[in-house]
Structure 1
Amino acid sequence: MNFKSNMSLHPNGLQRRHMMLGTAGILLVPGLMAQPLRQARLVVIGGAEDRIQDRLILRKFVDYCGGASSRIRLITAASGVPDVVWNSYRQVFHELGVGDFQQLALTDRDSAYVPELQQDILQADGIFMTGGDQSKLMQVLWETPAYTSLHQAFHLHGCCIGGTSAGAAVMSRHMITQGEAVLRPRKEATVTDIGLGLITQAVVDQHFSERRRLPRLMSTLALRPDLLGVGIDEDTALVIERNKAIEIIGRGAVTVVDPTRMRSNVDEVAAEEQMEMLGVELYVLPSGRRYSLEAKNLPSHWPINLTKVLKRLVAPGPIRS
């Protein structure tokens, strides 16, 4: 995605994105890290969640937001057909009993600067981001007051933030924007950019098993072994409870790739060439499982490194300033 063509909109924002991929880029705000009144959760969905039958994931999302009386807002800025997507989710959440479900008026970068939009975000109990194009969503949000408000809503108010497909990919700070489902890991097989940064120590890929994306994810990690890789199947959600636990819901699984101890020849091969990747650890977490750091006695079958992985997934990132 070429962001240069859009720099004229707000040049102090977009032109800094690629420069920040290798730096901290997110600032702590003094005095703003008080614990929220409720458990902050991310509901990261691999796409194609059930909206017709049991609607388990969306039903759980409503519960996490506080139930039918909660204020839930929808972001459709990633979609090429936002009106169609809005009507679909409006029907689903209405049938789930949610009375205060509205679409956020977030359509372009100018709208992301409107004070009323910021207040709507800050007052929400839950925010749901639809599928589409994650780069398009970040073009709208990057370094805007709406972006800051999303961070404050999550970190300070405990707002539940969910996202499906593109809305899932954008959760991580290091975000995959392009890349075919290669058969084997290849150098520079993917293109990445900066996402929302609500998950700071992992990169998220969606439609994972259905589109055979393990080699694609590993290709990304070969260049960023400091990150975890999280692949989420369709109609499956990774629920992250900040500082506490993760849970897998839906009908598939979540695959976590840990390249921390990897040895690779990535620096020796040319672009698009196959790579050697040794010592990569892989965890397959099936639906219905919960992995908590608060358990007094960890299951005996847990490898010791799984606890380290969990700590990285649930660790709160800094608030965007």
Structure 2
Amino acid sequence: MLKRLLIASLCLGCVLQSCAQDLNVKGKLFIIGGGSRPASMVERIVKESGIDKEGYGIVLPMSSSEPDSSAYYATNQFYKLGVNNVYGLHFVKDEKIQRSKLDSIRNAKLIYISGGDQNRFMDVVAGTEIETIIHEAYKNGSLIAGTSAGAAVMSEMMITGNELKHPDYASTFRNIEYENIEIQTGLGLITNIIVDQHFVKRSRYNRLLSAIIEYPELVGVGIDESTAILVSGNTMEVVGESQVIVFKNPNKSKTTFEDKLGAKGINMNIYLPGETFTID
């Protein structure tokens, strides 16, 4: 219970600060819901980061259990378009980090976080100079992109994928239950939303609904596969091939019956590629 209270306090504090933070940020986020990345999406990442004109990009593969393979496939999607200035950069937990590796993050125009397990990524970077420098790069104008697990880590309140009451992993929640969703702290590059990925393909509605009922200060953003949101300030553009589902709990409604959650007045919007929306 104490942990939940601490997380809720952190959540409210981040929401209150989010508008002020946005005013100081020059960079953008490119949050991908997993699955394949069509060439047009990769081209958009290149265009928004500007690495086709100058600078370079790096891939951080720490979410993956096979980081070398993850870095290879992530960089290869750029190489196929003739963009060869994207490089893998791997870190391990508690390593003594060379200044040159940190500078490589600091000066990158594109920082791309690959898929895998968001908990694994945060276990390596949380509280380190890596995390600090990612924030610094974002503030100074870099594009921070991430797919699947790399999408989940973008928000301050991060869905881990685990169910507290049902430890056997399932790709979607079977119920909308009280105190079942596990939340940890992500990178906090965006603080007023909570991100879910593979959303339509894996029917993760129960999971995201649980989140916005338990943490009503946040807006739930479910991004489908082969789809992304490009975040610039408070404006979000849908990029790719499928939908983005947005849940809000404007009345902070929450009721319970035994271990089941209920709420009234939940808002849902479904956005298609090319459409934009704002989060206040």
Query: TM-score w.r.t. structure 1 length?
Result: 0.76
Cross-structure match for 1:229? 220
Is the partner of 2:212 in helix, strand or coil?
helix
Cross-structure match for 2:110? 126
Give the superposition deviation at 1:19.
4.8
Aligned equivalents of 1:230, 1:41: Cα separation in 2: 17
Question: Are 2:177 and 1:186 aligned?
Answer: yes
Cross-structure match for 2:69? 84
Give the superposition deviation at 1:35.
5.4
Cα-to-partner distance string for 1:16-50 (whole Å, 9 max, x where unaligned): 99955633489x9xxx99956xx521000000132
Give the superposition deviation at 1:109.
3.1
Q: What is the one-letter code of the residue matched to 1:216?
A: R
Aligned equivalents of 1:106, 1:21: Cα separation in 2: 30
Alignment check: 8 A CA contact 1:255 1:282 kept: yes
Cross-structure match for 2:255? 265
Is the partner of 1:200 in helix, strand or coil?
coil
Aligned equivalents of 2:22, 2:29: Cα separation in 1: 18
* RMSD (Å) for aligned C-alpha atoms: 2.5
Runs of 4+ in structure 1 deviating by more than 6 angstroms, as ranges, are none
Q: What is the one-letter code of the residue matched to 1:283?
A: N
Structure 1, unmatched stretches of 5+, are 1-15, 292-309, 313-321
Structure 2, unmatched stretches of 5+, are 164-169
Cross-structure match for 1:22? 9
Cross-structure match for 2:151? 168
Task: Mark the CA change 1:17 to 1:151 in structure 2 (over 3 Å): closer, same or farther.
Answer: farther
Alignment check: 8 A CA contact 1:189 1:220 kept: no
Alignment check: 8 A CA contact 2:237 2:275 kept: yes
- The count of corresponding residues between Structure 1 and Structure 2 is 263
Cross-structure match for 2:58? 73
Alignment check: 8 A CA contact 1:189 1:216 kept: no
Task: Mark the CA change 1:18 to 1:101 in structure 2 (over 3 Å): closer, same or farther.
Answer: farther
Question: Are 2:54 and 1:48 aligned?
Answer: no
Aligned pairs for 1:98-177 (under 5 A) are 98-111=83-96, 113-155=97-139, 157-177=140-160
Cα-to-partner distance string for 1:169-201 (whole Å, 9 max, x where unaligned): 000000010234224422123111000001101
Cross-structure match for 1:285? 271
Q: What is the one-letter code of the residue matched to 1:105?
A: H
Q: What is the one-letter code of the residue matched to 2:86?
A: F
Is the partner of 1:48 in helix, strand or coil?
coil
Larger Rg: 1
Give the superposition deviation at 1:311.
3.7
Tell me the percent identity.
29
